[in-house]
């Protein structure tokens, strides 16, 4: 069933009821947002402090080295789950779904909201029994509450730098994610969406 942006926001409870198992109640559901981002290749620039009237030089990654962060957040419970991997494909997505599953408490059921990337919809994926997937409408990244997390992490940790190896990129990615989850209130303030509340 095709879902528009307006329909998803206005009838979110109904969309959730369509994807969860019949024996799961809304009170058991945790809403998660999932996405992935690439770190390293052709790194980006951001503003920095400098003396007025000067034009400081800023470093930028030129090599084609990169890693991916697969991240998911549950704003209402201030939970998060992530992995760092060298590629974006169904095999890595499977690992990430299992990681999210481990963070969902017993007796709860996670509805994971994600975009329609091909590796998110591959038939070989084995969805854990405590997870249901709710796909976003096409061309609607603004509805994915994981997106602001990437902007914050890139501004704080990834811009204006050069990496010497993919291992260094992975180390910085892990450090950045762990720094975020040590402040759970930031997860809720960044990612909470009124339309995604069930009650």
- Cα separation, 174 vs 182, whole angstroms: 12
Task: For residue 134, list its beta bridge partners.
Answer: 113
Six-digit token string for 194: 């009124």
Task: For residue 31, list its beta bridge partners.
Answer: 111
pLDDT band at 1 (very low <50, low <70, confident <90, very high): very low
Give pLDDT, residue 62. 58
Give pLDDT, residue 4. 83
Q: 48 with 160: CB under 8 angstroms?
A: yes
pLDDT band at 158 (very low <50, low <70, confident <90, very high): confident
What number of other Cβ atoms are within 10 A of residue 163's Cβ? 21
pLDDT band at 46 (very low <50, low <70, confident <90, very high): low
Instruction: Give me the sheet containing 131-135, strands edge to edge.
Output: 79-85, 67-74, 29-39, 109-114, 131-135
- Cα separation, 189 vs 82, whole angstroms: 19
CATH level 2 (architecture), domain 5-41+61-193: 2-Layer Sandwich (3.30)
Give pLDDT, residue 51. 77
* Tens-digit pLDDT profile for residues 50-75: 677 777 765 555 557 899 999 999 99
Instruction: Quote the pTM value.
Output: 0.86
Q: Average of pLDDT values for 143-160? A: 92
Q: Which of 91, 46, 43 is nearest to 63 (CA)?
A: 43
Q: Average of pLDDT values for 158-181? A: 91
Q: Average of pLDDT values for 144-153? A: 95
How would DSSP label each residue in 104-165? Answer: SPTT-EEEEEE---GGGS-TT----TTEEEEEPPTT-GGG-TTHHHHHHHIIIIISS---SS
- Cα separation, 123 vs 126, whole angstroms: 8
- Cα separation, 188 vs 76, whole angstroms: 6
Indicate whether 123 pLDDT > 80.
yes
- Only one residue has tokens 């697969």, namely 70
């Amino acid at each position: 069933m095709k879902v528009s942006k307006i329909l998803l926001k206005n009838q979110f409870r109904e969309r959730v009821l369509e994807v969860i198992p019949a024996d799961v109640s809304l009170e058991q559901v945790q809403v998660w947002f999932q996405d992935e981002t690439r770190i390293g290749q052709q790194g980006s620039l951001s503003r920095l402090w400098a003396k007025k009237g000067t034009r400081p030089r800023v470093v930028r990654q030129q090599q084609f080295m990169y890693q991916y962060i697969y991240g998911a957040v549950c704003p209402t419970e201030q939970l998060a789950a992530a992995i760092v991997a060298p590629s974006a494909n169904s095999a890595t997505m499977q690992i990430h779904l299992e990681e999210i599953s481990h963070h969902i408490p017993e007796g709860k059921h996670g509805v994971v909201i994600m975009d329609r990337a091909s590796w998110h919809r591959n038939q070989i994926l084995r969805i854990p029994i405590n997870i249901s997937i709710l796909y976003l409408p096409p061309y609607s990244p603004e509805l994915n509450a994981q997106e602001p997390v990437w902007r914050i992490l890139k501004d704080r940790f990834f811009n204006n730098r050069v990496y010497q190896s993919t291992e260094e990129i992975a180390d910085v990615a892990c450090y950045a994610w762990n720094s975020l989850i040590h402040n759970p209130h930031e997860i809720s303030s960044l990612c909470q969406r009124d339309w995604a509340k069930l009650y």
